[in-house]
Chains A and B, each alone.
Chain A
């Protein structure tokens, strides 16, 4: 059967110079602080860093200049984000706005929405969260019940979102809501862009098992937003969200979240490593190198205007498995105490506890495998 064809990753311009400039910029601007902040770094909020990164032109890179963007090629942006992730830079504050909300507003949004939100996103000042999951709708997204009623004054929203990452630090939420009364499943859904300081919005923290406050419950109690909050076409929310998920699944964050641990392992091993540690480093490196090829190829396909839904799911599935496997295998081979104070032990502890979430966020492992199976012609 036809194999996975590698799509050539060929960004325009001088890629080596792009990397070198960014590395020099990071040497001056990346906060030094706790090593554990370098792992899972796209969950690490740092608005000061985001603003500086935006001012340097590294956010909203692909947006048109008239909205504050850089009009750069999507693969130049890919190079920049893989460098930021490999360095463990704290990109969490602007991550979702830069990766998907900005591009989605550009693609489906009104002129008014573009002018209002995109410049702030590109400056690293406006942060977004994604309102998809609800108490009765997680993996089964078509069960969304939060409603928005069309009235003379605007849209009236009632309902609840849950597991909303970064809602408490975000300015806007792109929410999937039911706009057509009595509609079922994936029909009758629309996307609304909601300013989170609107009266009637209540955000409550959910503390995760690591003790961190990343996700939230968000309640909408008769929240009134203007008619202009509708993004794209009324009733087409499902199609728009599905397109958004393609952007979400194949990026380098699916295999580079734990890169700080691999670096720490290599540094701890020294130039004359123990044979078992050397073999582990070799196996992890082979997997990472392969994942990078898959991710770059999928990014190139996306940049060429194709919709590589199955390839994106393959990257996510293999990337999640790699990132969950790595801390477990390091723990099995390296002699290091649970409470040791050194970098390797700290990263190991942090990632062992954080990694169960990797195959839950952005589509569970089971959902992703289902998408791949459909691509194989099995469903």
Chain B
């Protein structure tokens, strides 16, 4: 990661930590609406790799706030597909946080005389969850690379946006279910922080295209390519 992005992430982390209690004001003051605006127009001149890094942190720390909408407002009328792409980064962050909370909980909480994390059944569940989180992270990062390679041309990225949002949507069920299962009753309380990421994950699965919408869109696209054409398209796109 570049030094500029490291600094951006440090700022974002601090801003979102504050915003988690205070709402959007600190985010607006920090000027995230200028993230995608060109430097020549007084903006930050960031790329989608920057957006992904910032939104991943937002998904982790302040998943309820309209941070993506604020960032995309810098583009004027951003196409709906870019909102879907933004949702993937937010979901990656929320899932990473759900996993971090789960690991911390099972390493701390003792039952039958040892930490829950020492039980194989719990370990195997969390391994499944970690794989889903890794898949969504990889999808979001690969989509970001493709968006930057095409200059944020949503139409040129239709394949990757569909694949990444669909993959993220499909991970939501597994990730939220396992996170809540290993937490037990405490994870179901208002007091504990798990719902702060799991409810936004459930909501985002419906927003900007549910599974059926993206699956049908991607499936029709692939059918038009034909069997061998799928592989040729996949390898030509990087």
Residues of A near any B CB (own CB < 8 A): 1-6, 16, 19, 82-83, 86, 259, 262-267, 269-273, 275, 277-283, 285-294, 297, 311, 314, 317-318, 366, 368-370, 372-373, 375-379
Contact = CB atoms under 8 A, between A and B. Distances in A.
22 contacts: A1-B97, A3-B56, A3-B134, A262-B227, A263-B230, A263-B231, A267-B226, A278-B223, A279-B216, A279-B219, A281-B218, A281-B219, A290-B135, A290-B142, A293-B139, A311-B134, A317-B127, A369-B127, A373-B123, A375-B130, A376-B99, A378-B118
Contact of A282 (B56, B139, B218, B226): B218
B142 A293 contact: yes
A370 B130 CA distance: 12
A289 B222 contact: no
B126 interface: yes
Contacts of A1: 60, 96-97, 99-100, 103
Contacts of B211: 283
A293 B226 CA distance: 22
B141 interface: yes
Contacts, number: 178
Interface residues of B, number: 60
A297 B142 CA distance: 10
Interface of B: 56, 60, 92-93, 96-97, 99-100, 103, 106-107, 117-118, 120, 122-124, 126-128, 130-131, 133-135, 137-139, 141-142, 145, 159-160, 162-164, 166-167, 170, 211-212, 214-220, 222-228, 230-231, 234-236
A interface, by DSSP: helix, strand, loop or mixed?
Answer: helix
B interface, by DSSP: helix, strand, loop or mixed?
Answer: helix
A273 B221 CA distance: 10
A182 B237 CA distance: 56
Contact of B217 (A259, A282, A292, A378): A282
Given A6-B142, A262-B230, A293-B142, A286 B163 contact: yes
Given A4-B137, A318-B131, 15 more contacts: A4-B141, A82-B235, A266-B223, A266-B225, A273-B219, A278-B215, A279-B215, A282-B220, A283-B166, A285-B163, A285-B218, A318-B135, A370-B123, A373-B123, A376-B130
